[in-house]
Amino acid sequence: MIFQATTSGGGEFNKEMKESIECRMKGDDMFQDKKDEMEMDEMLESWETDPHGMKTTFIRLKNNLAKKKNAVLSFNSRPGITYSLRATVKDSDVTDKPLFVMVDIIDDDPANRWLSICFFRDMITDKDEFGDFVPGGLLGEDAHCFDYDNQDEILLSYIEQRIDEAHAYMSKQ
């Protein structure tokens, strides 16, 4: 199922949706399990209240991940808590880390969702100190997490650079 790009969100939302649909039409098999992809689509389709544009941001980050070489995505739903998009690299030589980024939609207040983007601490740098160190915060290991709750293009670009950095770490041969 491909969710409709007709929901509210304006031009940016429609741009991100178009990009998402184009990835799928090319036949990119980005999800390790089609059930995860369907579950994510259903969640996004049902997400109506979005005062801070987090849905558009989530789709932008998902599209960014889908374009990464050998990226494989999974989606874990825990309604009322989080919806987690996790990315790993297929056939990575890094065997002690099961993923390179986790993008969580924090769902404690569905009318006011926000994002938490987390990395294993040793995979990225945070020279500008925009993120928070979270001991044991990512699958029991030390993490670096970035809370995103408004349309801050500088912070979002910074997070996308950290995604690039973590992907490069996971892709090293």
| Residue-wise pLDDT tens digits, 34-93 | 999 999 999 999 999 999 999 999 999 999 999 999 999 999 999 999 999 999 999 888
Q: Which amino acid is at 44?
A: L
Nearest to 118 by CA among 67, 61, 171: 61
Query: pTM score, two decimals?
Result: 0.84
- Res 120 pLDDT > 60: yes
13 Cβ contact partners less than 8 Å away, ≥ 6 residues apart = 5, 7, 53, 55, 56, 59
